[in-house]
A = this chain, B = another copy of it.
Amino acid sequence: MTNARALAHPAREEIRVEGVLHALSDPIRLRIVRQLAGAADELACSRFELPVSKSTTTHHFRVLRESGVIQQIYRGTAKLSGLRTEDLDTLFPGLLSSVLGAADLQAKRLGED
Enumerate chain A interface residues (CB-CB to B < 8 A).
13, 16-19, 21-22, 24-27, 30, 91-95, 98-99, 101-103, 105-106, 109
Bound Cα distance from A103 to B27, whole angstroms: 22
CA distance A98 to B103 in the complex (A): 15
Q: Is the interface of A mostly helix, strand, loop or mixed?
A: helix
Q: Tell me the bound Cα distance from A16 to B99 in angstroms.
A: 12
Q: Can you list 28 A-B pairs with a CB-CB distance of less than 8 A?
A: A13-B109, A16-B106, A17-B30, A17-B99, A18-B25, A18-B26, A18-B27, A19-B25, A21-B21, A21-B22, A21-B24, A21-B25, A21-B99, A22-B22, A22-B25, A25-B25, A91-B102, A91-B105, A92-B98, A92-B101, A92-B102, A92-B105, A93-B102, A94-B101, A95-B98, A95-B99, A95-B101, A98-B99
